[in-house]
Amino acid sequence: MTNSEIGKKLKVSRVLVFRTAQRYRHLGTSDDIKRRGFPVTVTTPEAVKAVREKIRRTPERSGRKMAKEYEMSQGSMRTIVKDKLKMIPYRMQKGAFLNQKKKKSRMKKARKLLAGTKDGSQLTTLFTDEKIFTVEANKSGQNHRIIVTDYQSACEKEKILNKTSHPASVMVFSGITADDKTPLIFVDSGVKGVALSQFSLRKPTMDLPARRRPRSSCQRDSRVVSRHFSEFISAADWPASSPDLNPMDYATALIKKRDEIDDDYLRAVIDAYPKRLKAVIKAKGGRFENYS
C-alpha cells in the first residue's frame, strides 16, 4: 500500500505518513525524535494551565505582578500569555456607556452617514471639534517628587499643588478636511459653547464668517448654516458617544504637532472615516477594534 493510499484511508496528509514511516525505520518506534536544546523549565504546561486559570477568574491582571508571583521573567510571562494562550493584554480605557438603545441608534445613524459617502462627499467635508484645556499643573503625587532637607522647605518649593473648584481654562476650536485644516480658534472666556462644533460641514460656495455663539442658539445656527452650505450633518444626525467616528477625535488630537500635519496625513485620516462607519455597522453599534 502506498503512502497516498494510507493517507486517504486515515484521512491524513501523505507527508505525515512518509515521515512517520521513516521515523519507524530509523528508531523502531513512531515516538517523536528527542529534540535538541535545553528542555522547557519555565513556560511549562503546568505554568500555562495555572496562568490560564488565574486569568479566567479575574481577567484584570498585571503581567508584571503575575511574573513576580510565579518567579519568572516578564518575557516568559509574555510568552505564556501571547504565544501559549493567544491572549492580548488591552489597556483599560474610559468611554461612554453604550446600552442597547444607544447601539441601535448609533448603527442606524452610521448607515445613514455611510450612504452619504458613496459620492465621496467625505473628501469635501469639514470635520470640526472643540476641546477645553485646563490651565492647571498636571502632576501626580506618585511620580513627581521634591527632594529637600525638610517638610517646610518642600512646602516652599511648591510641594502643595493648590487646586480650585473652577480652574482657569481655555476652549480651542478647529477643523480639518481631506486637504487642509482651519487655524486654531481660541474662544473667548464666558462663551459656553461653539455652535459650529456640533456639525460636520460641507465646503461652502461662499465664505462664512467665523462667529462664536452660545450653545442655546444651536437651532438658530443650524438655519444659518443651512443657507450657506449645500448640506451638513447636524447634531441630531451624528451618532452620540462616538469619538471613534469624528476624524478630529480619533486621529488628529495631539498625535502630531499641528504644523507638521501634511495633506497626505489628512487624506489618510478622512479615508478612514467610511471604513469606521462600516466597522460600527458590523459591530451592530458597539465598539470595534480594527477596520478595513
Which tens digit of pLDDT belongs to each residue from 30-50? 777 676 777 788 999 999 999
| Cβ neighbours for 95, distance < 8 A, ≥ 6 positions apart | 241, 287
The answer to whether residue 92 scores a pLDDT higher than 80 is no
Judged by DSSP in three states, 218 sits in helix
What cell was used for 72? 519568572
Q: Is 238 left (phi over 0), alpha (psi -120 to 50) or beta?
A: beta
User: What is the reported pLDDT for 222?
Assistant: 58
Long-range contacts at 159-164 (CB < 8 A, ≥ 24 apart):
161/137, 163/136
Q: How do residues 194-239 score in pLDDT, each as one tens digit? A: 444 334 444 443 344 443 434 444 555 556 665 666 567 777 788 8
Among 92-101, 113-122, 200-209, the range scoring the smallest mean pLDDT is 200-209
For position 40, what pLDDT does the model report? 83
Q: What contacts 172, CB < 8 A, 6 or more positions away?
A: 130, 131, 132, 133, 184, 185, 186, 187
